[in-house]
Amino acid sequence: MTIIDLLEQNARLYGDEVALVEINPEVRETRRITWRDFELVEPTGHARHYRREITWNVFEEKANRFANALKSRGVGKGDKVAILLMNSIEWLPIYFGVLKTGAVAVPLNFRYAPDEIRYCLDLAEADVLVFGPEFIGRVEEIADDISVNRLLIYVGAGCPGFADDYYEMTVECSSMFRKVPLTEDDDAAIYFSSGTTGFPKAILHAHRALLHAAICEQRHHSQTHDDVFLCIPPLYHTGAKMHWFGSLLTGSKAVILKGTSPATVFSAVSEEGCTIVWLLVPWAQDILGALDRGELSIDDYKLAQWRLMHIGAQPVPQSLIKRWLGYFPHHQYDTNYGLSESTGPGAVHLGVENVRKVGAIGIPGYGWQTRIVDPEGKDVPQGEVGELCLKGPGVMKCYFNDPAATANTLRDGWLFTGDMARQDDEGFIFLVDRKKDVIITGGENLYPVQIEDFLAAYPKIKDVAVIGLPDARLGEIAAAIIELNPGESCTEEEIADFCRGMPRYKRPRKIIFAMVPRNPTGKIEKPRLRKEYGGEGLVAAQNES
């Protein structure tokens, strides 16, 4: 069985039921709509926005039409099809159309600059690039290079002359597709690492990994056919996609929301009856801030059906969850840990029954094993810090075209994550930090996540990042970049006084009040901060060691 079989099963069982909804609150009645199939609706009591939906039958038909279009142009098993689209209702049918041909889907980060797009296409040996209107300029800049022996397909209105039109390609294609024989061991997708230390690596996954991600998501969150999942993060990333796979497994409705403001999130939950919402830390902070300031009222929305809020992609401050449960005491909560190399979230998870252990990333997920090891690869004693290793059906096959990096990361079936962690006496795993982010000051190891978690409890702080900066005497010092809540003012002295609750050697020696940059999946962009605040030389030295 492969992930494709789940879509075909849902079309048989739930054909006329809604599979996907797209809501775009940024598109207003006064704007001319150029994308096809938009429907104007008037949600009761809220701003006008555009909403589209498709049933499971239409989802399957769209995937089949695209698969036939690709096949007619010679795309088949083993070929690579890159997808460069913003979240939309077309995204997932295109993804499954690729998989149906036996080709490998290659999602691309929508933030990539032209040279990064070209690099990833070349690294993945992509035969096709599917792109949307937001990327015309970037693709046009490199079109002469990337169009050599590569098909360019445009999804949207006003197709540029250097690409083929997706709609024209698919409109005359059959809605039926002759199945390509596939097994769980066949290649399915290439996802790219976040690229926070340079150009990204290409992570190759088999169909087995995608299928296990769907099973894992459903097991962890007891998802049923009656649940409605709100999907906000970008679909190019494993996080959003693999959480949505729980909806695929259960044949349940999912809502793709193009917007992250607190009111937008609450409106979508209310109007669409969402029961499961995956948030990133900044979005949860924004919601809590809006509630605290009285800009948002729970009573104005239908939220009683919302049963689960979960967070992944980054460490979660304990103070945030305590505040959240103060507003939503009936909510289940889970945090999910994983990497693109482990098919995204779920390799470790807290579990909805373990809210008392908030602060831990949790226990091994369904079908997963974990170890915490020293630099020689030997298990460390319980309670000591070491590198977290994962083993399970969701581990990548390899870094595509990079055998050296593969050999360094995959050893005897174990995925060495590069994350430092410890395990308590109940078996719960606590993430300490990335191996490369550990700060060595005066011979002592500092773990930035621990300092960030401590500072996040200060009421005036919205977000915080701790990095190491070079120091002539100590080697490195900890610097805290602090983003304050809107309207707040604060001094270095206030922060220093608050930090007296930490051991002296852990206290940040430099305080910088500034915005904390995060990538689309919520991870702090620490290389950017090091470069901006003087740690670039330190990073270079670490990379050489």
Task: Indicate if the pLDDT at residue 320 is higher than 90.
Answer: no
Of 79, 83, 187, 181, the closest CA to residue 132 belongs to 83
Is the separation of the CB atoms in 19 and 59 below 8 Å?
Answer: yes
H helices present in 366-427, as ranges = 403-409
Q: From CA 427, how far away is CA 18, in angstroms rounded?
A: 41
Q: What is the token pair recorded at 203? A: 């992570």
Q: From CA 325, how far away is CA 148, in angstroms rounded?
A: 55
Q: What is the mean pLDDT of residues 495-509?
A: 88
Task: Indicate if the pLDDT at residue 48 is higher than 70.
Answer: no
Longest dimension (CA), the chain: 71
Task: Indicate if the pLDDT at residue 31 is higher than 70.
Answer: no
Cβ neighbors of 501 (< 8 A, separation 6 or more) are 454
Q: Per mean pLDDT, which range of 29-33, 296-300, 303-307, 444-448 is the poorest?
A: 29-33
Q: Could you report the per-residue pLDDT of 451-483, keeping only the tens digit for each? A: 888 898 899 999 999 988 887 767 788 999 999
Q: Could you report the per-residue pLDDT of 154-178, keeping only the tens digit for each? A: 999 999 999 999 999 999 999 999 9
Q: What is the mean pLDDT of residues 226-236?
A: 95
Terminal alpha carbon distance of the chain: 45
Strands (E), 327-383: 332-339, 344-349, 363-364, 369-373
Q: What is the mean pLDDT of residues 257-266?
A: 93
pLDDT for 43: 38
Q: From CA 418, how far away is CA 416, in angstroms rounded?
A: 6
The mean of the pLDDT values for the chain is 88
| SS3 annotation, 5-47 | HHHHHHHHHHCCCEEEEEEECCCCCCCCCCCCCCEEECCCCCC
Q: Could you report the per-residue pLDDT of 356-381, keeping only the tens digit for each? A: 898 899 999 999 999 999 999 999 99
Q: From CA 343, how far away is CA 339, in angstroms rounded?
A: 6
Cβ neighbors of 434 (< 8 A, separation 6 or more) are 418, 419, 420
CB-side neighbour CA atoms (13 Å) of 448: 24
Stronger pLDDT, 54 or 534, i.e. the higher one: 54
H helices present in 293-382, as ranges = 318-327
Task: Indicate if the pLDDT at residue 35 is higher than 60.
Answer: no
Q: From CA 453, how far away is CA 50, in angstroms rounded?
A: 39
Quick one: how far is CA 433 from the chain centroid?
18
Q: Identify the structural domains of the chain with CATH numbers, from first to last.
A: 54-208 (3.40.50.980), 438-544 (3.30.300.30)
pLDDT band at 67; cut points 50, 70, 90: very high
pTM attached to this predicted model: 0.82
High-pLDDT (> 70) share of the chain, %? 90
Task: Indicate if the pLDDT at residue 149 is higher than 90.
Answer: no
Task: Indicate if the pLDDT at residue 42 is higher than 60.
Answer: no
